Every structure is written in C-alpha cells, then in structure tokens.
Amino acid sequence: MAETILEVSKLTKSFDGGSAVLNEINFSIKKGEVVVVVGSSGCGKSTFLRCLNFLEQIDSGEILLDGKKIDISAKALPKYREKIGMVFQSYELFPHKTVLENVMLAPLLVQKRNKAEVKAEAEKLLARVGVAEKKDMYPRQLSGGQKQRVAIVRSLIMHPEVLLLDEITAALDPEMVREVLQVVLELAKEGMTMLIVTHEMDFAKAVADRVIFLDQGEIIEEEPPEIFFGEPKTERAKRFLNTFHYEALEDK
C-alpha cells in the first residue's frame, strides 16, 4: 500500500465567528492518488483546498505532510507551500512577466536551482502541455486555456508532492476545458498526487480514484467514483447529482 502524503484531522474553519464552513474534516491522500471533491457551491470545497495551503487560517485541527505536523510560522510556511502546488480558477499568472519568467521564478528564487537546468525543464514542460511557442509572450496574449496550462506548469516545475486544483476550468470556454483537463488526465496517469475541486462530473468520473462529497462543511460520502456516480448512498448526494441531469429535474 502506498504511503500517506497528506493527512488532515479534525480540521475546522469558520469565517468571522459564524457557523463552521468546515466542520471537523478528517481526510488523507496517498501517494499517486487522485481525489476529487464535489459538492454544491458554498459547501466549503474551495475553502477546504485553501486551508490545506494555509491561504485560509484554520480554527482548529491538524495538517500533516509525510507524517509531520505543519509549522505555520512565517518562516516555515514557504517551505511547506513549496511542496504543495496549487492552481487557481483565475490562472493568476504574473502579468508583468513572460510565460517563461512566470514558470522559472519560483525554482530560481525559492529553490535556488541552476538557471540553465530550470530553463531546460521549463521549456520541456511547456512543450508537453502544448504552449512551447508562447514562452516569450506575456499572459495577456494567451487564451484562457493556454494560461491555465502555463499555470499548471508553473506549479509542476516545483516538483510538488501534492497538486491542488481549485476549479481550474470554471472560468474557461467549453472548448478550452478539454485541453486543460487532458493535461490533468495525463498527470494522473503518470502518478501525480492530486486533490481536485471541479464541477465537471464526467471528468471527475474519469480521473478520480476516490470521490469526496462535501455538504455543509462535512464529508457526506467518500468512495470510488463508480459507486458515487452509480449508486450514491445518501439522499443529499442523489439530489446533488440530479442537478446535472435536466430530464431528471423535469420528472419531478
């Protein structure tokens, strides 16, 4: 059995003292595993991902990487984030840097790697996701799909242990969704450990080893995709899945 990379126990988070957005979440992900988190909007799935990278402060609970509790001091946090890649819905490439500069920034600055080696790897990765010829362009000259593929490369070049993908196709035109998801599927095939939040149910079905259904800050279901999409156990999950079938709605 593969080793556990990331482990979360009793993670609780609320905003401004309101009701809990995440309530005592227990979760773990193994090396090479792809876990997809689904749920209706506002269920806390994005917050969950952001907590894992400490972009949101957690109220209580523990997060362990390779069995070690995370030190969240300002000095130690960058070291941890280095190992956790994150890709956002809105790409967030740095607009004042070219594609290549975007990709090379963190390896040079944070990991102090050799420039020639980083450049070679950056070019290789960009070629792999099909944007090699864009390397000297600025983000604004790229389409949404291209930007998102560059953003994935920017995370990958750090050799993260886990990749967090937060609704990475939600801002894309339908025809661009596929080119981005194709990249993610390939990563999954190569054994990249990923935690994915998405609204693309077909994609979730195809890529997931395990699906987590989150509702009102709690994990309601956690099982292989065939079971979750085939015969969900809870009423809430059934209702959620039904919203993706228009005929089913009309039947009611």
Partner 1 sequence: MQDLGIEVLFKGNNFIRLLAGLWVSVRLALIAMVFSILLGFLLGMIMTSKNRIVRLICRIYLEIVRIMPQLVLLFLVYFGAAKHLGINISGEIAGVIVFTFWGTAEMGDLVRSALIAVPKHQYESAYSLGLNKTQVYLQIILPQTIRRLLPSAVNLLTRMIKTTSLVVLIGVVEVVKVGKQIIDASRYQNPNAALSIYGVIFLLYFAVCFPISKLSAALEKKLQS
| Nearest alpha carbon to residue 81 among 4, 155, 3 | 155
Question: Nearer Cβ to partner 1, position 183 or 237?
Answer: 183
- Please give the distance of CA 10 from its chain centroid, rounded to a whole number: 20
Rounded to a whole number of angstroms, the minimum distance from the CB of residue 135 to partner 1 is 17
* Footprint of partner 1 (CB under 8 A): 53, 55, 74-75, 78-79, 81-82, 84-86, 88, 90, 92, 94-96, 105-106, 109-111, 151, 154-155, 158
Rounded to a whole number of angstroms, the minimum distance from the CB of residue 153 to partner 1 is 12
The DSSP line for 181-245 is: HHHHHHHHHTT--EEEE-S-HHHHHHH-SEEEEEETTEEEEEE-HHHHHHS-SSHHHHHHHHTT-
Which element (helix H / strand E) includes 85? strand 84-87
Determine the Cα–Cα distance for residues 172 and 178; give it in Å rounded to an integer: 10
Rounded to a whole number of angstroms, the minimum distance from the CB of residue 82 to partner 1 is 3
Question: Nearer Cβ to partner 1, position 79 or 238?
Answer: 79
Question: Nearer Cβ to partner 1, position 192 or 211?
Answer: 192
Rounded to a whole number of angstroms, the minimum distance from the CB of residue 238 to partner 1 is 34
Question: Nearer Cβ to partner 1, position 70 or 211?
Answer: 70
